[in-house]
Every structure is written in structure tokens, then in C-alpha cells.
Amino acid sequence: MPRRLLGLLLVMPALAVIALLFILPLVMSAVGAFQLNGGWGLGNFAKAFDLYLNDILFSVGIVSLSTALIGFGAIAIGGYLTLGAHPVAVTILRWLYRWPMFIPFIVVGQILRTFLAKNGMMNNTAISLGLMTPIDAMSFLDWRGIVIAFVWKQTPFVALLVAGAMASVNREGIEAAVNLGASRLRVLVEIIVPQVTATLAVGLILSFVTMMSVLSVPLMINAQSPTMLTADIAFRVNAYGDYGVANALGLISLVLASSVAWIYLRISLKERA
């Protein structure tokens, strides 16, 4: 048997899995987005924008805000792990910060649902400490809850990448700045962060795409309007069996995710160049 054919045969199972389980469903659903009763057209998109424009904007807003907060959180954690002067605090943080990564989104949703509700643990604790009265208690189970859940779950992942990159920044470069009189904050902002921007960007982009695809958190925390696109897709399919609009919404999500994935590709191409 020719070697080339043997190589192709070896690769076939993997290719088949990708083609059947990934590419085919993607193409089917992309095609389905343009399929109308008895023809082709942009009707599903028109309906999707008509019904769910607010949710599209809401999703982009929530995920963008969460991405920004995750970025700040990851820089703060990575910065403290790199520059922290208190070894015990650094050790505790290093041990603690990764835990949310191992908790599934649906569990995060459940934890925060009980924590952020009007009569949840957060308000009860504040009331029992005398920080506020029961009448002032309010529920965070809205857009704020989703942002908190996303930030809580995704910050450790980005922090892990960023802290690794920061640890490989030349220590002498940090000391050179300290030697010239830079404060720790300036060292972080002016010396360390500019040297880890590629890693930070990659972490944030992967987080952005992940958050765009999470269904459990908006369903558990924010079962109201406006909500996120994933909840709308589930609703179109489950309540109406309306695969056309669901597919159109899916394609819109894909375009949003792809736009940041394009940035990711540009960064990796630049790194390889």
C-alpha cells in the first residue's frame, strides 16, 4: 500500500469525527438559518433582529463588561503573585484562586443564585452584620448576577495564563524599574503588563467566546428579559420548535465570537512571525 494512502487512512477516523460531529452540524445550522417555509431568504434574521435585538446588545454588553472585569482581576491576581511582598499571602492566593476553574458553570449558577437572591446569603449576612436593613435588601439576580458569575468563573483561567506569563518576565527587568524608583503599581502597569499583553489578549478572547456560549448561567440567574442569546436559542427550539430563528441567532453568535477569534488568530500569527 502506498505510504500516502496509509497516512490518509490513519488520519481518516479523526477527520471523520470532525466532519460528522462538528463541520456537518455547523453547515446544517448555517444553511438552516436561511431556510424559510418553502424557500430561502433572510426572514429568520429579520425575525431574530426584530424580536431579539435587545438581547443581542445585552449579550454583547454583558460579555464585554465581564471580559473587561476578568482582565482587571487577572492582572491584579497575576500582579500580586509576581510582586507580592508577603510570602504567606502569595501562597494562600496561589492556592485559592484556581478553585473556580474546576466548578462547572451550572454549579456556579446554582451557588450564585442562592448567594445573590433577595433573601440570599449575601443580603442575610449584610443584615446580620447590621450593614443594612431587610427593607433595603435587593436581588442581584439580573444582569449583575450574570456578570458576577462570569467573572467569578473565568478570572482564574485568565489569571492562570497571565500569572504564568508574568512569572517568565525577566526578574532583573522588574528590579531595574524598582532600582530607578518605580512603585509596585507602576512596575505592574508600565513594565509587566505590556510584556504579557499577548497572553492576556488570548486569555480574554477565549473567555469571551466561552461566555458567549454559556446557557446555564443566564437561565438560572436571569430568567427574564432582556437575557442572553443562548437562552433565546434554547427558548426558540424548546418552546416553538423554531429552528430557523434559533439557527439565525446561532449564526449571529458565531459572527460575534468569530470577530474576537479573528483577533486571536492575528495575535498568534504575529507571535509566529
Partner 1 sequence: MSGSGYLELNGIASRYGATQVLKDINLSIRAGEFVALLGSSGCGKTTLLRTLAGFNAPSSGSVHIGARDITHLPPDKRGMALVFQSYALWPHMTVDENIAYGLKLKGVPRADIAAKVSAMQSLLGLQGLGGRKPQALSGGQRQRVALGRALVIDPEILLLDEPLSNLDARIRLTVRHELRALQQRLGITAIHVTHDREEAMVMADRIVILDAGRIAQQGRPEEVYNRPASPFVAAFMGAENLLKLDGFVVGDRFVLSPGAVHAAGGVPLDGRSLASGAVEARFRPEAARILATLDTATPEDGMTFRGEVLAVTYPGGHWRHVVRTGAHEILADAPRACQPGERVAVHVGADALFLFNLAEPASASSLPASRA
195 touching partner 1, by CB under 8 A: yes
Grid cell locating 200: 492576556
Selected binder of partner 1 within 53, 125, 175, 223 (CB under 8 A): 175
Element (H, E) at 214: none
Q: Which of 223, 225, 232, 219 is nearest to 109 (CA)?
A: 219
Count of residues near partner 1 by CB under 8 A: 16
User: What are the two backbone dihedrals, phi and then psi, of residue 52, each rounded to the nearest 5 degrees?
Assistant: -125, 20
Q: Which stretch binds partner 1 (CB under 8 A): 50-58, 64-72, 95-103, 179-187?
A: 179-187
Residues 181 and 207: their CA atoms lie apart, in Å, by 36
179 touching partner 1, by CB under 8 A: yes
172 touching partner 1, by CB under 8 A: yes
178 touching partner 1, by CB under 8 A: yes
182 touching partner 1, by CB under 8 A: yes
CB of 85 to partner 1, least distance (A): 12
Q: Could you give the angle at the alpha carbon of 222 between the alpha carbons of 217 and 223, nearest 5°?
A: 110
Selected binder of partner 1 within 116, 149, 177, 205 (CB under 8 A): 177
Are residues 80 and 185 in contact, defined by beta-carbon separation less than 8 angstroms? no
Residue 205 burial by Cβ neighbours in a 10 Å radius (0-12, 13-18, 19+): buried
Are residues 231 and 218 in contact, defined by beta-carbon separation less than 8 angstroms? yes
Q: Which is nearer to partner 1, 39 or 181 (CB)?
A: 181
Q: Which stretch binds partner 1 (CB under 8 A): 76-84, 105-113, 183-191, 240-248?
A: 183-191
Selected binder of partner 1 within 32, 186, 219, 261 (CB under 8 A): 186
Please give the single-letter amino acid code of residue 13. P
130 touching partner 1, by CB under 8 A: no
Cα dihedral sign, 167-168-174-176: positive
Residues 40 and 17: their CA atoms lie apart, in Å, by 29
Q: Which stretch binds partner 1 (CB under 8 A): 62-70, 151-159, 189-197, 207-215?
A: 189-197
194 touching partner 1, by CB under 8 A: yes
Binding site for partner 1 (CB under 8 A): 170, 172-173, 175-182, 186, 190-191, 194-195
